[in-house]
Amino acid sequence: MRAIFVQIPNILTGIRIALIPLIIHLLRSGQHSQALMVFIIAALTDTLDGMIARLGGIISPLGTFLDPLADKLLLNATYTVLALDGGLPMWLAAVVWLRDLIIVLGAAGLHLKGRRWQVKPALVGKATTLFQIITVGLFFEVPVTRFFISWQPFLVTITVVLTLWSGLYYMAAGLNILRGTAVKNL
């Protein structure tokens, strides 16, 4: 029974990854209400897999790699499709993409230098993911998001600040790993 329980977070992460093509298809075909519902389900799998992993004390090498990858794939795909369709500012999608590109390139650089980066999401990284999810959700063209249209500028500002802050934090963490010093987990 424990063996099955241990796999539940990874299964939920796999479901999140598997839902991405469906979200893209629904957005591209103009079915924004359905896309938003699937996006919410995908976002909830992130919350559930994290809760189960923490409550069950489950940490797997696969999960520590797949969970942040699934988040990046989900958010970058959604931001990109909405930006290409004109519903979301392209510069906002570029900020999200740039931060993740810097993180991925930094991790690859550390790997090439023979340094291991234990993926431990910082509080600022978790807050960034949360606000990126909420913000992009408000750009789906559905009646419920139009109700919150006045929140968009505020949420975009917070999302951009957190995205830049977390990008700088992870860059500093990578540089500290190269130097052999520690960085405080913010």
Q: Which long-range contacts (CB under 8 A, 24 or more apart) does 150-154 make?
A: none
| Residue entry with tokens 């893209």 | 24
pLDDT tens digit string along 45-96? 988 988 888 877 777 777 778 888 999 999 999 999 999 998 899 999 999 9
CA dist 21 and 77 (Å) reads 9
- Give 43's pLDDT tier (boundaries 50, 70, 90): very high
Tokens encoding 10: 């990874």
Rg value, the chain, Cα: 17
Residue 56: predicted pLDDT:
78
The fraction of the chain above a pLDDT of 90, given in percent, is 53
Average pLDDT, stretch 169-182?
83
The domains located in the chain, with CATH, are: 2-179 (1.20.120.1760)
pLDDT tens digit string along 118-168? 667 789 999 999 999 999 999 998 887 777 888 889 999 999 999 999 999
**What torsion do the CA atoms of 146, 150, 151, 155 make, to the nearest 10 degrees?**
100
CA dist 174 and 178 (Å) reads 6
Average pLDDT, the chain: 88
- Give 108's pLDDT tier (boundaries 50, 70, 90): confident
Question: DSSP characters for 147-175?
Answer: HTGGGHHHHHHHHHHHHHHHHHHHHHHHH
Residue 185: predicted pLDDT:
55
